[in-house]
Amino acid sequence: MTVEHPGYLQGCHEEADTLIACHAANAAGNIAVRASDTDGMGILLGMLGRHMANPSDPSYDRLIMECGSGNNRRHIDVSKVASTLESKQEGLAAAIPGLHALTGCDFTTAFYRKGKIKPLNVLEKDATGGFTELFGSLALRDEPDHDKAEEFICALYGMGGIKEVNEARYLKLLRMTGKMDQDSVLADVKRVDCALLPPCAKTVRKKLQRAHYLSILWGRADEPNPADGLHPLKYGWQNSKGYHEPEWYEGPAVPDDVVSGREDNQNTDDPQDDETDLRSQISDDGSSGSEWSDDSDSDIES
């Protein structure tokens, strides 16, 4: 028996998902891969999508993904899925990894109660193709289009026509509270579940950085060393006791002028009537912690 170790199949892959894609990219004919991870499916779809867009790249006769076990074992025709996506909109298959990274995967958080089907529907219904171009370009090292990303998130939260997430967040809060006290702008926040609101602009910026990092990594999955030149600390993560954790945003959670304005309006004659400091009312994830029905999000978007 002769065992060979071709250089183009060696290298450094931290995840099995990218290593599988690397081996598949260097094979020919009918290919079957064994995996059960959504990330792996997205990586393979993106790889096939890029090959469809570039005729000079090699094509596969058929790429099958086997997943499950026992009676639940099934085979997914990845080539057919990629072709179906391309028939709906050019570049859609190549945009899937970026969409998956932004809307939640093994390394990034998801948008609360948005899942995967709704983001894909928003992507498919975009007649301009701008959203598809955005997610396809995340595989490149170029700075992503932050404005287009905010517009996509606004559409995802049912705020079509709005292009800035801060404006969409404010208008959605108005829908949920029915009013806004200009003298105490956060007075009604504890009446709603703030997790139903779109993320603010500074949170979106960091989230997009993390999605950009993963999209570049996945876009280079067919290379021996896809992580060369990439560092998580430059893409929305920070060091914490020797581990990488998400850097949710830069700056304070609540603007100083909002806090100072509320403090000026408080009645200092009776300190027992003072409410808890605003910063302690808002949890780390932006939720007020109050109860909210499962139907509340669909009600306000209808």
Place of tokens 């700056």: 251
Tell me which residue of 230, 283, 196 sits closest to 107, measured CA to CA: 230
CA-to-CA distance for 108 and 217, rounded, in angstroms? 14
Supply 119's token pair: 């983001």
pLDDT tens sequence for the chain (302 residues): 888 888 777 788 989 999 999 999 888 889 999 988 899 999 999 999 998 887 666 666 799 999 988 889 999 999 999 999 999 999 999 999 999 999 999 999 999 999 999 999 999 999 999 999 999 999 999 999 999 999 999 999 999 999 999 999 999 988 887 766 667 666 666 677 889 999 999 999 999 999 999 999 999 998 999 999 999 999 999 999 999 999 999 988 877 776 665 555 555 545 444 444 444 444 444 444 444 444 444 443 43
Sign of CA dihedral 144, 146, 150, 152: negative
What pLDDT score does 139 carry?
96
What pLDDT score does 168 carry?
97
Distance of CA 34 to the CA centre of its chain: 25
What pLDDT score does 296 carry?
43
CA-to-CA distance for 247 and 237, rounded, in angstroms? 5
What pLDDT score does 17 carry?
93
Tell me which residue of 142, 158, 132 sits closest to 53, measured CA to CA: 132
> Residue 301 phi/psi, 5° resolution?
-95, -10
Instruction: Tell me 228's DSSP state.
Output: T
Three-state secondary-structure class, residue 33: strand
Three-state secondary-structure class, residue 77: strand
Q: Angle CA(279)–CA(156)–CA(80) in degrees, nearest 5?
A: 135
